[in-house]
Structure 1
Amino acid sequence: MVRAKVFVYDKRFDGLPKEGDLKLIEEELLPIKDGEFLAEALYISVDPYMRYFAHILPIGSTFVGQQIAVITESKNPDYPVGKYIAACFGWRTHTISNGTTDLAFPTGVVPIIPLPDDEEIPKSLGLGVLGMPGNTAYFGFLELCQPKAGETVVVTAAAGAVGSHVGQIAKIKGCIVIGIAGSDDKCNWLKNELNFDHVVNYKTQDIDKTLTEIAPQGVDCYFDNVGGEISSIIIDHMNLNGRISVCGCISGYDGKKQMSPNIQLPMIMKQLRMEGFIVYKWLDRWSEGIIQNWEWIKQGKLKYKEFVTNGFENTFKAFIQLLQGENVGKAIVKV
């Protein structure tokens, strides 16, 4: 019998999640049946969206999330032993599956995605720059913002897995890039290592005043990860026919009702285009994003950073660190 460790959602979050809101249990798994396989988690993802999805996740269910796993037993020819996969199995060490996602994502069922067989590619990147965050940046920015060389791009949560990636793609496309982050260390990383043109520490700088100084020509593209007041300020600085890609709303992930910023007037007067998205709408082009991002990495045009926590038991701790903004780059747990 295989024993799986599982984080079960036990209590609704109230503010910042607390110890005891999730319960760490063990499950005995039954032997696999025909058509099934057993997968063992190697890396667990922690992401900001999990804070929001907790409001619609059933109490008593495995906490939501993606993982990189290796197949250790199989009676399914499509998933042979030794194959590595990215799957939304949640926060658990072992999972029996029949090839469909057993734990449906709150946005719908997400298919299991086999990882490339290229041994040169670190497996953990399937949760980051060569996985969902990487394709979120690739498709969400290029398809919705359609940047042009010389344009000014603003990215919020710019030191996170998606934001840092978007900023680098914008540089590859010849744009002027402004990153907004929450610490001097993050801003220094964006400026000195990722070559962002300007950075703003929203905790210590006046965003409205600073944007006026560093982007007097206005903003053409905005990749929005945070929503709220910061986004309202940035939208006020946008140019005629500007484009806004809405990826996340970190400011509202605690579930508390917010006063909506008044963005309608600048949207109308500047004829802005604003579109939200979930990256799996481009599932039929998934490999395109992975191939291009890997090519940029090999060319030295795209850098990444992983914020790694060791030990499955520390997954909740890693989640809290993420929500408190302690991570730089993609936050993962090495099981």
Structure 2
Amino acid sequence: MDTYSQIVVASRPTGTPTSKNFRVETGPIPAAADGQVLLRTKYLSLDPYMRGRMNDAKSYATPVSIGGIMEGEVVAEVLKSKHPDYRQGDLVQGRIGWRTHAAVEPTDLKRVETGGNPATTALGVLGMPGFTAYSGMKVIGQPKPGETVVVAAASGPVGSLVGQLAQLSGARAIGIAGGPEKCAYMRDELKFDAVIDHRADDMPEALAKSCPDGIDVYFENVGGPIWQAVLPLLNRYARIPACGLIAHYNGPGAAEQDSLSSTMLAMVRRSLLMRGFINTEFVDDHYDDFMRDLIPLVACGHIRYREDIVDGLNNAPEAFIGMLSGRNFGKLLIRVS
């Protein structure tokens, strides 16, 4: 290859993003300067948080500028190194964005370390999504034997691990996802104790039936009508790690049915603990434990995961748009090379 490709933000989306909000650019492959490494992307991770980066709004991270490269973490191969710590052929991971090649200083790169598991797991069950599930449960959720843990988006990379960690702690795992195929996966492969299809008309009733003793931990990934179904079932002192609200990311819609007053009243009356978090808050104290605990569990199959791999960087925008409406099944990755 003599040229590289990158995908940039062409315009700010209003509501659900469209292909017109992205632009593909090409150019000559950059050369590595002294102290840099030239990378070729092998896999790009697509994650819900990227939708927020497309908005010009104050958040915990700076938005991507118009014309800026879409943010994203990759697994990449070192093609050429002018840095003493790296050599040709090394596999690294880092946030170099939606592009096929990059010449960068390796300050924010790290070697892919998966303990013999596939390199793709560095972007999924052994990467940011996995650590999000692990740290949110360990620090905030703290499930105990016999308790009931409910997680939405439960067939995805975060939710599927939340449910499995709940069971490893001795708790019951109740998963909520959309459609019979995803529900079958949670029931038959992940062995959740109960599975709820959020597309079913009787979703609130089915959830209540599956939680006869109430809910002790609710791992929040979605918001919207699912939160409305969960709220009346939360037990006194229930814990709610809140890491995502995908029902809100595209603006007004079903999520606007949420009632702040009913949530706040429940928090006061039942002494609920809800904490929003970003996984990077817990890296210093818990990342080493995460890798030590999860690598062998993934390797031996006690922790199961699923990947949804799409070929070609040019297909990233449509795959990303589909992910926001739940079309992916498992950790969504773009195989770039």
TM-score, shorter chain, exceeding 0.5? yes
Deviation at 1:17, TM superposition (A): 1.7
Looking at structure 1, the residues matched to 67 and 312 of structure 2 have their Cα atoms a distance apart, in angstroms, of 23
SS of residue paired to 1:271:
coil
SS of residue paired to 1:267:
helix
Match of 2:77 in 1: 70
Match of 1:24 in 2: 24
SS of residue paired to 1:12:
coil
Match of 1:53 in 2: 53
Contact 1:131–1:290 at 8 Å: present in 2 too? no
Looking at structure 2, the residues matched to 50 and 34 of structure 1 have their Cα atoms a distance apart, in angstroms, of 31
Match of 1:38 in 2: 38
Match of 1:266 in 2: 266
Looking at structure 1, the residues matched to 90 and 252 of structure 2 have their Cα atoms a distance apart, in angstroms, of 42
Deviation at 1:259, TM superposition (A): 5.7
- 1:71-90 alignment, distance < 5 Å: 71-90=78-97
- 1:1-335 alignment, distance < 5 Å: 3-55=3-55, 56-100=63-107, 111-116=108-113, 118=115, 120-256=116-252, 258=256, 260-261=258-259, 262-284=262-284, 285-335=286-336
Instruction: Give the partner amino acid of 1:220.
Output: D
Q: Deviations over 1:50-96 (max 9, x none)?
A: 11221032100001111111111111112332221111111001111
Contact 2:218–2:239 at 8 Å: present in 1 too? yes
**Aligned residues: percent identity?**
36
Deviation at 1:225, TM superposition (A): 0.1
Deviation at 1:233, TM superposition (A): 2.6
- Structure 2 gaps of 5+ residues are 56-62
Instruction: Give the partner amino acid of 2:53.
Output: F
Match of 1:105 in 2: none
- Identify the range of structure 1 (220-229 vs 25-34) with the bigger mean alpha-carbon deviation: 25-34
Q: CA RMSD in A?
A: 1.7
Contact 2:147–2:216 at 8 Å: present in 1 too? yes
Instruction: Give the partner amino acid of 2:88.
Output: V
Q: Sort the Cα spacing of 1:236 and 1:79 in 2 relative to 1 into closer, same or farther, 3 A.
A: farther
Q: Deviations over 1:269-324 (max 9, x none)?
A: 11011111111112224233123212112332110110011122211122122122
SS of residue paired to 1:126:
helix
Q: Sort the Cα spacing of 1:75 and 1:323 in 2 relative to 1 into closer, same or farther, 3 A.
A: same
- Structure 1 gaps of 5+ residues are 101-110
Instruction: Give the partner amino acid of 1:114.
Output: R
Deviation at 1:117, TM superposition (A): 6.9
Contact 1:13–1:54 at 8 Å: present in 2 too? yes
Deviation at 1:141, TM superposition (A): 1.4
Looking at structure 2, the residues matched to 325 and 14 of structure 1 have their Cα atoms a distance apart, in angstroms, of 19
- Identify the range of structure 1 (310-319 vs 167-176) with the bigger mean alpha-carbon deviation: 310-319
Looking at structure 2, the residues matched to 59 and 205 of structure 1 have their Cα atoms a distance apart, in angstroms, of 41
Q: Sort the Cα spacing of 1:149 and 1:14 in 2 relative to 1 into closer, same or farther, 3 A.
A: same
Runs of 4+ in 1 over 3 A off after TM superposition: 255-260
Match of 1:108 in 2: none
Looking at structure 1, the residues matched to 237 and 245 of structure 2 have their Cα atoms a distance apart, in angstroms, of 23
Contact 1:182–1:325 at 8 Å: present in 2 too? yes
Deviation at 1:212, TM superposition (A): 2.3
Contact 1:172–1:301 at 8 Å: present in 2 too? no
Instruction: Give the partner amino acid of 2:151.
Output: V
Structure with greater helix share of residues: 2
Instruction: Give the partner amino acid of 2:191.
Output: N
Looking at structure 1, the residues matched to 314 and 48 of structure 2 have their Cα atoms a distance apart, in angstroms, of 19
SS of residue paired to 2:106:
coil
SS of residue paired to 2:19:
coil
Looking at structure 2, the residues matched to 173 and 328 of structure 1 have their Cα atoms a distance apart, in angstroms, of 26
Match of 2:59 in 1: none
Instruction: Give the partner amino acid of 1:112.
Output: L
Instruction: Give the partner amino acid of 2:195.
Output: V
Instruction: Give the partner amino acid of 2:25.
Output: I
Contact 1:148–1:175 at 8 Å: present in 2 too? yes
Contact 2:114–2:126 at 8 Å: present in 1 too? no
Looking at structure 1, the residues matched to 289 and 233 of structure 2 have their Cα atoms a distance apart, in angstroms, of 33
- Identify the range of structure 1 (219-228 vs 319-328) with the bigger mean alpha-carbon deviation: 319-328
Looking at structure 1, the residues matched to 30 and 178 of structure 2 have their Cα atoms a distance apart, in angstroms, of 46
